[in-house]
Amino acid sequence: MKNKKIGFLLLSFAISLLSFSQKASIKFEKISHDFGKITEEGGNATYVFSFTNVGNSPLVISNVQASCGCTTPTWTKEPIEPGKKGSITVIYNPLGRPGAFTKSITVYSNAMDEQVILMIKGEVIPKGTEMPASIKAGDLRLKTRTIQLNNIDKTKTQTRELEVENLGKENLKVLIENLPAHLTASVIPQVLKPNESGKIIITFNASKAIQWGPSTDDIYIVINGLRKFSDEFELKVLANVVEDFSKMTLEQKRKAPIFETATRTYDLGFVKIGSRKSVRIKIANKGLSNLEIRRVVNYNKEITFRPLKLSIPTGNSGDLIVDMNSKNLPSGDYTKAITLQTNDPDNTYVTINFNWKIQK
């Protein structure tokens, strides 16, 4: 009997070893890329991550998900045989996103490492700004016009300081106006003497923000009571309101909602110029608490969606309707994406891709 048990265990081990040895294995040439400084009006920034299947069976990339809608990935769709190469092309859209950025791209496959995270980073130089630049609002010199706060937990605040200097020959009394409810600002000192330096302190209270996800607020510098709501006196405050899932207990994770869709890539096929197409995305909640689609981040003029938010009880499903309008689009191939921000800790950001071809 003992010999039979030992033999069975050895056979099971051999089968497991054989199964493991026959898996695909993905190896990237590099998993991060720094674009450095790029200009906001310079167009999309693109980088190709190359990889090789170093395993013993075909490699299939099932999905590639970017952390936000500003980043669009495309990838090799067909199976990659052992020893062969594939690629993932990542496109970052800098328009409307001045300041430093860091984005993640998660690669899902049938490889031994089922998930691989790629990273891109860089700094977007705002429109009309030279590199480097002396930035002024009247006689007030600014280090930058963009205040980047990055990720902020919905329950917390975050503060940044902006260095300023009075380059004029008279005192400058500096105030900040056009502040939304979630922003406060102070200037120290409030009156700057000629050649005196100071700082503008900006605080973002995420609990008062009206929306989740990325936000851009335009606030204005007022000098000696003179209000000029122009680009010269404008400051941009960029932030990303998120939920911190890192402190969840095992019990909280067990009761969390679970986001599920049949696919995350939709092929609309051939579309005639001027026509419209709609896609119904069915989203299921397989978890034990309500699934909240808190925001849909969409930077595509040709794509609209409804509803703006979606709450799905446990065990149920809901529909997100996405409409594509091909008006004014030239002939060619298109790949666009939207990003859903949810309260599923394993699917905080879900990127949905749309492919179509425009024909006359």
Whole-angstrom Cα distance, residue 148 to residue 164? 16
DSSP letter at 79 equals P
pLDDT value of position 128: 61
Instruction: Quote the pLDDT of residue 9.
Output: 52
CATH topology of domain 19-125: Immunoglobulin-like (2.60.40)
Helix H or strand E encompassing 15: helix 2-21
The pLDDT tens digits for 98-141 are: 888 888 898 988 888 788 889 998 888 887 654 444 689 999 99
> What is the distance in angstroms between the CA of the first residue and the CA of the last residue of the chain?
75
User: In Å, how far from its chain's centre is CA 56?
Assistant: 34
What pLDDT, on the 0 to 100 scale, is given for residue 67? 80
135-242: in CATH 2.40.37.10: no
State the CATH architecture for 250-359.
Answer: Sandwich (2.60)
Name residues of the chain where pLDDT drops below 50: 11, 13-20, 130-133
Location of structure tokens 């973002």: 204
* Per-residue confidence (pLDDT) for residue 21, from 0 to 100: 54
Q: Which of 180, 213, 154 is nearest to 349 (CA)?
A: 213
pLDDT by residue (tens digit) across 49-71?
A: 999 999 998 998 988 888 877 88
Is the separation of the CB atoms in 360 and 272 below 8 Å? yes
Instruction: Return the domain boundaries, the chain.
Output: 19-125, 135-242, 250-359
